A and B are shown apart, each in its own frame.
Chain A
């Protein structure tokens, strides 16, 4: 009995916080836009039979007719993928350094990784606007050092979006990798070297494969939110940065077309389900391996 209750609680959360909202969005995606409050028909108050009669898949058909949408999905996938790779390239050495650091430093290093979370995310993104703008810190420094004579245009480009995403999600990459490396038995590395590996070979053949779980977990934690990212591209990106989060915003706010916006959101969710399921599988396998 107790056990069933315990299992029920997470499923109840899933039902209330995920499934019910999803059904509402799905219902709106099957409706038609209207000039009313809220701006779509039919509504629940029109009765169940009207509801069922008037719902259709017209909005999903519409999404296939305009190349804007799949281009935006593809562009979001590309940006999320490359951001994840970049975050991994930056995050892995940091996590590695933390794991190899003397014990008395570790708490401090960990603090430094977590510290940015104490400031609002929005303020940190705004700070990047100050750093990257034409008259900003970075350009002034580059020009003072004589590296460039003209300011580099970084703000309002896709480069700035990459910088923003890598910066924001870096801790999500570092922490799982650090956790994996921290658990690693140092004698394995020594054994590899005793058996004739150079240090580099030992790193690639022993350390990296053994920290695979951390890499996978970190990559998903970065990729999934980066795919639907809206704040970073709208603040740091330019008009050429096409991302599905911005398309969603435009459907919702500029066209006042909640049904099409909901259809875009439903498809985004379907795209995300695949990596989430893969992530879930990986976690499960890892747990089984540990038992």
Chain B
């Protein structure tokens, strides 16, 4: 009996001891970092890093709004960041602990102000565009050599989609990305908040949804790379990762990314610290580590997304900094738009419409 009590006491003491060692829990998007960086952070700081991933802003937001997520660093996109700031989900960053703050890129900081007006709550991690991932050979086989691969017509014109359905098309399962795209396609303001204007996209998207094999926000990377599908409406860097995986596998699959000429959504993923983060100190250290020019460059070189870190640009490989799909030239940049969060009432209408578009009900 006494032995057992001692045993329990020892276990309790051990777990208590373990929680004293500094720890940081990071919740980031899937396929979004070079894992070597995580080891480097642990080696440099001696802080234990717990790294979890998600694949939709909605999942992250629900955790934030439920409170007590246990995470120290999370990575919401622009509109979600804005809403979560107003819900009081994040704490203000202590800039005295962020010596690498000067590395950040003012152009991106300015664009971020739309979501975080004082720049007090978040730093940009990566940014990119939403566009078309295309299996060039298969699409040309189906639609001919003049297939409109750089236009939303590829996926929003039912005539094209009917022909493409057998070789497979995936859409992001995100009304916040597809509705602006449909608005851009029919020549409306992609950032429209007017329910009547938004409602116009239902006809556009419903006309093509029967030909969409799946609405999903992460499976398309592998599906594109394996040649299971021939078009995906997806995020720039994810498509480029698919391109590289296919090249590595040497399976004859050739993937290209196109930001549609009708305009493409520009989005920002940003690191923020939840208001109830258990280890805010370690969280600041992690942010500062990520803002280091070489570390940030290593992350971008690995995931093929542009970052909001000016100083990192000299360490980027040519494949990244020189690729207009990642760092767009001035003309493309002009053609990118950003969006604002929907009000709860508009949001309900949007979700309902999205369900209707996907399931026909």
Contact = CB atoms under 8 A, between A and B. Distances in A.
Contacts of B67: 37-38
A135 B65 contact: no
A134 B215 contact: no
A35 B86 contact: yes
B355 A256 contact: no
A256 B62 contact: yes
A39 B361 contact: no
A71 B66 CA distance: 29
A275 B168 CA distance: 40
Q: By DSSP majority rule, is chain B's interface helix, strand, loop, or mixed?
A: helix
Nearest to A71: B361
B360 interface: yes
Interface string B329-348: 00000000000000010011
A35 B58 contact: no
Interface string A224-265: 000000000000001111100001001011111100000000
Interface stretch (B2-10, B16-24, B206-214, B254-262): B206-214
Contacts of B166: 150
B87 A35 contact: yes
B88 A36 contact: yes
B340 to A, nearest CB: 15
Nearest to A37: B67
* Residue with the highest number of chain B CB atoms closer than 10 Å, among A67, A71, A238: A238
A71 B59 CA distance: 25
Interface residues of A, number: 30
Interface in A87-108: none
Nearest to B165: A153
A29 to B, nearest CB: 16
A135 to B, nearest CB: 5
B83 interface: yes
Q: By DSSP majority rule, is chain A's interface helix, strand, loop, or mixed?
A: loop
A140 interface: no
A156 interface: yes
A239 to B, nearest CB: 4
Contact of B347 (A36, A238, A255): A255
A67 B214 contact: no
A253 B66 contact: no
A125 to B, nearest CB: 13
A278 B228 CA distance: 46
Chain B interface size, under 10 / 10 to 19 / 20 to 34 / 35 or more: 35 or more
A230 to B, nearest CB: 13
Interface string A6-45: 0000000000000000000000000001011111000000
A37 B65 contact: yes
Contacts, number: 78
B100 interface: no
A66 B347 contact: no
A135 B226 contact: yes
Nearest to A151: B166
Contacts of B360: 240
B55 to A, nearest CB: 12
Nearest to B60: A253
Contacts of B351: 250, 254-255
Nearest to B67: A37
A68 interface: yes
A242 B355 CA distance: 9
A253 B62 contact: yes
Given A68-B361, A255-B351, A256-B344, A239 B212 contact: yes
B66 A38 contact: yes
B68 to A, nearest CB: 9
Interface string A70-81: 011000000000
A211 interface: no
A97 to B, nearest CB: 37
A38 B66 CA distance: 5
Interface in B200-220: 209, 212-215
Contact of A239 (B58, B344, B352, B358): B358
B65 A256 contact: yes
Interface string A97-138: 000000000000000000000000000000000000111000
A30 B341 CA distance: 26
A255 B62 CA distance: 10
Nearest to B354: A254
Interface string B222-261: 0000111000000000000000000000000000000000
B61 interface: yes
A150 B221 CA distance: 23
B89 interface: yes
18 contacts: A37-B67, A37-B87, A37-B275, A38-B65, A68-B355, A134-B168, A134-B228, A135-B226, A238-B214, A240-B359, A242-B361, A253-B58, A253-B62, A254-B175, A254-B351, A255-B344, A256-B347, A257-B348
Given A37-B67, A254-B347, 8 more contacts: A35-B83, A36-B65, A37-B87, A71-B361, A134-B228, A239-B209, A253-B58, A255-B351
Interface of B: 56, 58-59, 61-62, 64-67, 83, 86-89, 166, 168, 175, 209, 212-215, 226-228, 275, 344, 347-348, 351-352, 354-356, 358-361
Interface of A: 33, 35-39, 66-68, 71-72, 133-135, 150, 153, 156, 238-242, 247, 250, 252-257
Question: Which 9 A/B pairs are nearest by Cβ-Cβ distance?
Answer: A239-B358, A253-B58, A37-B67, A39-B65, A254-B351, A35-B87, A255-B351, A242-B359, A156-B214
